[in-house]
Amino acid sequence: MIERNLRNELKTARKIYFYDNGVRNALINNFNDLALRDDTGALWENWMISELVKKRSYDRQFVNRYFWRTTQQQEIDYIEEADGHFTAYEFKWNPKKKAKISQTFLKAYPNTEMLTVNPDNFYTLLL
């Protein structure tokens, strides 16, 4: 069995997300329509994470939150851990775009539930 150092692999403070995308848009001075933006995927990821955080708070579900990135830039967008169980999320604005799940991550955390979230299925997470 391989010893894992979760503090080195799962990071808690490497990405910055806004509770409100409007604040993000104000800071970068970009209020263009989504069709005219090149950061739609980042907006989607930020919005989904902020909504999941809000939902967990409203439902009084206490989870640890992480993201995972290797030095080779393999990444998992968002990870929640509750009672020793991990759920990993990949956020894709385009429902037709397939999420690339890192085999390195899957080998390191084989019992993790993997979810790809897009505009066609996000509502099931927020109800």
Residue found under tokens 């503090």: 7
- Contact (CB, 8 A) for 87 and 79: yes
The per-residue pLDDT for 71 is: 75
Reported as a single tens digit per residue, the pLDDT across 7-62 is: 556 554 467 888 899 999 999 999 999 999 999 999 999 999 999 999 999 999 99
The per-residue pLDDT for 114 is: 95
Q: Which two tokens stand for residue 126?
A: 């927020």
The per-residue pLDDT for 15 is: 77
The per-residue pLDDT for 1 is: 39
Reported as a single tens digit per residue, the pLDDT across 57-104 is: 999 999 999 888 877 788 899 999 999 999 999 999 999 998 888 888
33-68 burial: b if 16+ Cβ within 10 Å, else e: eeeeeeeeeebbbbbbbbebbeeeeeeeeebeebbb
- What pTM was estimated for this model as a whole? 0.84
